[in-house]
Amino acid sequence: MTFQDIFKSGFLENIASVSVLDMVIALLLSFGLGMFIFLVYKKTFTGVMYSSSFGVTLVALTMITTVVILAVTSNVVLSLGMVGALSIVRFRTAIKEPLDIAFLFWSIAVGIVLAAGMIPLAVVGSVVIGVFLLVFVNRQAYKNPYIVVLSCENHDCEAAARAYLDLQAERCVLKSKTAQKGGIELNLEIRLKDDNTDFINTLAEMDGVSSAVLVSYNGEYMG
């Protein structure tokens, strides 16, 4: 056994398994495409509160996935250990918007494809997905729905308010009704004929109407 054999290490032999040029190119591309994903997320966000940390997470996730897949593709034994290590990881963060799941998988997919050396597929696929999301997510309905929360004193007041809303709105559908002693509360979904919302002021001034609230509604939350 020579002096060189004593200090021979399999760990040191793996240093050159991935060239420095490949690492730099992969990380730069993953950063660029991660930023593109982040910008698309920022432009298409339709939730209640925008989280800048989630956008940064998308960029980091793209780069981290690229690093992991580069290591896996360079060593078959390491790939088996990586699968076992990642299988015990549990993420407890709740996904508030369904579209956020698509962005997370998009970041992971780009990292995998880049590390596999399929650069044209990663770039072209990201551009197509980004254009698709920009076109369809930002596409607004022709007539946005609203919810009218109406508090009335009695049945006659309720009937008069419903009749007035039927004239002012293109569509008026009762969603819920709560009757209590001394008052009635109605939740009505309406479709406006135009952008004019002055009718809610007139509705609040009607006899027997204690309050009238107009709320934007998208089918998932009210705000």
Q: Does residue 2 form part of some domain? A: no
Q: What is the pLDDT of residue 84?
A: 57
d(CA 119, CA 122) in angstroms, rounded, equals 5
pLDDT level of residue 221 (50, 70, 90 thresholds): very low
Q: For the residues 126-137, what does the mean pLDDT come to?
A: 90
Q: 132 and 92 share a domain?
A: yes
Q: DSSP for 124-142?
A: HHHHHHHHHHHHHHSPPPS
Q: Does residue 1 form part of some domain? A: no
pLDDT level of residue 116 (50, 70, 90 thresholds): confident
Residue 119 pLDDT more than 60?
Answer: yes
Q: 24 and 131 share a domain?
A: yes
pLDDT level of residue 204 (50, 70, 90 thresholds): confident
pLDDT level of residue 30 (50, 70, 90 thresholds): very high
Residue 218 pLDDT more than 60?
Answer: no
Query: Among the three residues 137, 159, 180, which one is the final residue of a domain in this structure?
Result: 137
Q: Residue holding tokens 């107009």?
A: 214
Q: 113 and 27 share a domain?
A: yes
Q: 126 and 172 share a domain?
A: no
Q: Does residue 71 form part of some domain? A: yes
> What CATH number does residue 156 fall under?
3.30.70.260
How many domains does the chain contain in total?
2
Q: For the residues 167-188, what does the mean pLDDT come to?
A: 85
Q: What is the pLDDT of residue 222?
A: 38
Q: Which of 44-58, 79-93, 177-191 has the highest mean pLDDT?
A: 177-191
Q: What is the pLDDT of residue 120?
A: 92
d(CA 91, CA 99) in angstroms, rounded, equals 18
Residue 47 pLDDT more than 90?
Answer: no
Q: 91 and 155 share a domain?
A: no
Q: For the residues 129-150, what does the mean pLDDT come to?
A: 79
Residue 125 pLDDT more than 90?
Answer: yes
Over pLDDT 70: what percentage of the chain?
A: 74
Query: Among the three residues 97, 118, 137, which one is the final residue of a domain in this structure?
Result: 137
Domain hosting residue 149, numbered range: 145-216
Let me know the angle formed at the C-alpha of 137 by 60 and 134, rounded to the nearest 5 degrees.
65
Residue 11 pLDDT more than 60?
Answer: no
Q: 159 and 64 share a domain?
A: no
Mean pLDDT of the chain: 79
Q: What is the pLDDT of residue 7?
A: 45
Residue 201 pLDDT more than 80?
Answer: yes
pLDDT tens-place string over residues 68-92:
888 777 665 566 556 555 555 565 6
Q: Does residue 53 form part of some domain? A: yes
Both tokens of 28, joined, read: 């730069």
Q: 117 and 156 share a domain?
A: no
Let me know the angle formed at the C-alpha of 103 by 101 and 107, rounded to the nearest 5 degrees.
120
